[in-house]
Amino acid sequence: MPPAKTQRIRDPIHDLIVFDEKDEIDQLAWRLINTPEFQRLRRIRQLGVSEFVFPGATHTRFAHSIGVYHNARRLVRLINEHLLDSPKTDANPKKSPSEDRSIVIRLAALLHDVGHGPFSHAFEGARLALAKARGQEKIKKHEYFSGQLIRNETSCVCKVLSDFDPSGTLSDEIAKVIEADDPTDIYHAVVSSSFDADRLDYLQRDRTMTGTRAGSVDLEWLMRNLIVEHIPLGQEEDDPKPTLAPTFAFAEKARGAAEDFLLARYRLFTNVYLHKTTRGFEKVVAALIEWLGTPGNAGKVGIEGDHPLIRFLTAKGDGSVEDYARLDDMVLWGLIDRLGRSAEELPRALARCLLDRNRPKCLDLSRHFGTSSQMIEGTDGKIRSAFREQLGSTVFRDEASINLYRDVEGVSAKEHKLIRVRTKDGLLEISRFADTIINDHLKKDAKFVRYFFSDRDDFDRAYRIMTEGN
């Protein structure tokens, strides 16, 4: 192994990220960054097809993951120096790497997306549709594949970790952190909390790279006012012994910055992640992947069954980690280019939509009817019935929910991911202050129902259905 050397990365968000030659975990992280599994993340865009709307949004999971490591390193240092209740003592025996939570968490932050699939969440949406067609209700998500790649003895990531920790347990501890839903100690909050290293990076990175000006994050002030609290994980208020999860909260003087932080996240969802054009193109990507994964279709366009994507999509269960590790945006774009020149009408049309940026026409029921759920549901049913045969091929339905805390897949946040502020009267969730600037309606689910049409005549027909008698 060559002698340690300080390495530096210029980053548009965090400026200079330094991997210190005197820090053995920094040096281990640098070796992990240079594995093929991590380098694959250079070929996966962080925001999938958002560049069709925001041309600057070409940043990658690679850059994001390094930024998450940088944030995790800062949070771990903060925990070690200021937030732990128990004083450190030199009399404690030296822990092995797998027993040292500060080491495990830093590396889990770096590797949290190592198993992320191509085209962001459209890929998982297509996989779920294919699984349901086979009678399988659930799929393993990217956290599972991250864990598998980290544990897989044939992967370079696992080999690097094993060289550092011959006991072989470090890789398993890192994988467990990535796969876990709930934090078990305050170190875990670094990768799973309201103020974790992941969202601290993507909020700033996605805002900068898309050019979105709405919302900003006063990171330094929030860091200075970070505290540790223990939050009940369950929803039952009368539970005499609730399970408590250690997580981050804020001192009261940072309440204004914490409100801005939460609103900045909300604005990214409304302006970027749920942008109607982005969602429309995501539906096209998912439809194309779903078509390729339907048994027999790939052969129609001359794509062999031993192609890693076809093998992965058509395999029983969840597919092999070896095939999954060969997939990235470039592999899929190669197939899209090929399909765009094929004789098969449907995949060719879907591919040309992406290659030529032929934007599907959007009919937004939520915008038309506002908060009238009765009108939305009634019109939704009529349109779905009228275009039943075309859904998923030339007509696409999109439904999403958003509130202050929901994630990009519409899943509500758990208790330990709510933002809380410590006041003289106790711990308070940030939207419950009497004088909060957070509007009441942002706390409730707002539902989006949209339809996307490849054909203008179909759009006009659906528009007439929407406006009849209204």
- The stretch 274-300 carries a mean pLDDT of 96
Residue 411 has a pLDDT of: 66
Cα–Cα distances in Å, from 265 out to 105, 116, 184, 252, 302? 24, 21, 25, 20, 44
**Is residue 238 predicted with pLDDT exceeding 60?**
no
Name the more confident of 204 and 181. 204
What residues contact residue 392 under an 8 Å CB cut-off, 6+ apart? 129, 287, 290
pLDDT digits (tens, 9 = 90+) for 427-445: 999 988 989 988 877 877 7
Residue 86 has pLDDT above 60, yes or no: no
Read off the pLDDT of residues 163-194 as tens digits, 9 standing for 90 and up.
999 888 999 999 999 998 788 889 999 999 88
pLDDT score of 87: 47
In the predicted model, what is the mean pLDDT of residues 464-469? 85
Would you tell me which CATH number, out of the four given (3.30.420.40, 1.10.1040.10, 3.90.245.10, 1.10.3210.10), belongs to the domain 7-248?
Answer: 1.10.3210.10
What pLDDT digit, counting tens, does each position of 397-425 carry? 999 888 888 776 666 678 888 899 999 98
Distance CA(451)–CA(398), nearest Å, equals: 6
Task: Answer for the pair 194, 416: CB distance below 8 angstroms, yes or no.
Answer: yes
pTM metric for this prediction: 0.93
**Count of Cβ atoms closer than 10 Å to residue 464 Cβ:** 10
Say if residue 266's pLDDT is above 50: yes
Gap between the Cα atoms of 110 and 92, Å rounded: 27
Give percent of the chain with pLDDT exceeding 70. Answer: 94
Largest CA distance in the chain: 79
Average pLDDT over residues 78-90: 67
Average pLDDT over residues 32-55: 97
Q: What is the pLDDT of residue 179?
A: 93
> pLDDT tens, 368-382?
988 778 899 999 999
* Residue 79 identity: I
CA atoms within 13 A on the CB side of 423: 11
Average pLDDT along the chain: 90
Buried (b) or exposed (e) across 443-454, using 16+ Cβ within 10 A?
eeeebbbbbbbb
Question: Considering only 66-70, 110-114, 139-143, 368-372, which range has the smallest mean pLDDT?
Answer: 368-372
Query: Is it the case that residue 317 has pLDDT exceeding 60?
Result: yes
The pLDDT assigned to 402 comes to 87
- Please name which of 155, 145, 148 lies closest in space to residue 117, comparing C-alpha atoms: 145
Give percent above pLDDT 90 in the chain.
72
Among 335, 308, 337, residue whose Cα is nearest residue 324: 308
Q: What is the pLDDT of residue 442?
A: 82
| Backbone phi and psi for residue 292, each to the nearest 5 degrees, phi listed first | -65, -35
Which residue in 57, 69, 61, 56 sits closest to 26, CA to CA?
Answer: 69
pLDDT average, residue stretch 376-392: 94
* Runs of H (alpha helix) within 211-344: 219-224, 255-268, 276-293, 297-300, 308-314, 321-324, 329-339
470, pLDDT greater than 60: no
